[in-house]
Structure 1
Amino acid sequence: MEAIKDIPTARASTMSTFTTMLYEPAATFRGLQEKPQGWLPMLALMATTTVLMLWYFSVVDFTWLLDQMLASMKTAAEREQAAKVMSKNFLQISSLVSTLVFYPLFFVIMGTYLMIASKTLSHGLSFGKSFSLAAWAGIPAILLLPLGALQILLSSSGQLGFSDLNPVSLNQLVFHYEMANRFASLADALSLTSIWSIVLLVIGFETWAQVKRSTAILVVLIPHVLVYGAWFAYAASKAA
């Protein structure tokens, strides 16, 4: 009987963890140290992204979207080949599969990196704990569901690009690159939510690995600077 009574409390505790991670991350990470349960935020991120993608493809003006995507290709041959395979079902399924693969893969890679870094610098984190750290730091991306939903509701014509679903990306806020621009995907990837996640990763690594704040910043920034730097260099080489 007591176990049954404890179920609502456990659910409330889980929900509060999702919210307190956004405004009180250090205390939340300390509370998660014993049972980090990294699969919870990962499943939440996969679910919210899936819901947003399904909703998006149910309302988007696909003819318009396809024209926008084909316009970003340089040659007529590329456009002709792409038009043969870019059906609505193909794009929807590929987007959903990408979502289901991306989050676990990203958290595995980041978790492995954080595990190695922590063992080099301190007493070390297990893979499970470093995986959970990466997953919980990704929580700000859940906010893309209400933000994307608002964009869909405001677009009565259905002429809404993928990048428009994230109104807090640097592309939407600052650069306003068209889809054909080589720097568009990079500017779309950099957003207030991704920056927020980097901050959470710093706080979490500092808390769990018991290192200085400056060390945590360095550890977290290294892979991000390398990836985004390489992405920028690639885009610049294509734009030249």
Structure 2
Amino acid sequence: MSNLQLASSILVDPRPAFAALDKSPRFWFPLLVPVAVQVAMTFWYFGVVDYPWLLDEVFGPAASQQANTPSKSLMMWSTVAALALGVPLLRVLEAAYFWLAGRLTNIQRPFRQWLALTCWSSFPYVLTVFLMVIPLVSHNAAKTTQDGLSLLSLNELVFHLPRDSRWHTLMSSITVLHPWLWWLTVLGVRVWSGRSWRFSMGLALLPMLVLYGAWVLLVLL
């Protein structure tokens, strides 16, 4: 399969895609395309947002009048750097977990293959990035926060928590697509390991359970 065929298959019929990746693992396309799209949306966002208004929303009233607040260019390039470095690093860490867990459970797969799994199973998240176009072309684009761009987050769709809520960041980070991404990871592990659904779910979802469990615990404390 070509990269575009793999992308289409991951979205509508992922099992053949993982079978193809089993024979020929590759990861650059699903790694770089979402990052490039998010970086493009970031430049677009900072090009239209009312920056003094944004500062007041993020740092509190009258923040835009203070001398120590970050400049627009600094905040924009910091966001771009976080995306360009943070997303690939996250995929590498995920792949490292699967590589180590695979060795411990006798699933002999190279690191490159696990990196392909993490990149392709997270690829559908690019759909949420494309949806950022909607608020960016709306009449209220200048008065939209970065959290407000994520139309499929639980906070935007369900909870509508204010920024000062201790649950705001967690609810803004989880989208309705995340269960789909987790299921793709489980499916990929099952296809490549030949193990049971129970085993595949345990191996694939353990990092998410630890991460979000610790996050909820920190919020509660």
Provide the TM-score with structure 1 as the length reference: 0.85
Give 2:148's aligned residue: 164
Q: For residue 157 of structure 1, report the CA deviation from its aligned partner.
A: 4.8
1:31-110 paired onto structure 2 within 5 Å? 31-71=20-60, 84-110=68-94
What do the CA deviations read for 1:109-167 (whole angstroms, capped 9, x no partner)?
11011111122223322111111110111111111232101121124351111111111
Q: For residue 58 of structure 1, report the CA deviation from its aligned partner.
A: 0.7
Q: How many residues align?
A: 220
1:71-220 paired onto structure 2 within 5 Å? 71=60, 84-220=68-204
1:16-31 paired onto structure 2 within 5 Å? 16-31=5-20
Tell me the percent identity: 26
**Superposition misfits of 4+ residues, deviation over 4 angstroms:** none
Contact 1:171 1:187 in 2 (8 A): yes
Contact 1:137 1:197 in 2 (8 A): yes
Provide the TM-score with structure 2 as the length reference: 0.92
Contact 1:125 1:209 in 2 (8 A): no
What do the CA deviations read for 1:24-79 (whole angstroms, capped 9, x no partner)?
1111110111222112110111111111111111111111111110129xxx9xx6
1:158 match: secondary structure: helix
Separation in structure 1 between the aligned mates of residue 29 and residue 141 of structure 2, nearest angstrom = 36
Contact 1:122 1:211 in 2 (8 A): no
Give 1:4's aligned residue: none
Give 2:206's aligned residue: 222
User: Between Structure 1 and Structure 2, which shows a larger proportion of helix residues?
Assistant: 1
RMSD: 2.0
Separation in structure 1 between the aligned mates of residue 92 and residue 193 of structure 2, nearest angstrom = 18
Gaps (5+ residues) in structure 2? none
Equivalent residue letter for 1:30: A
Gaps (5+ residues) in structure 1? 1-9
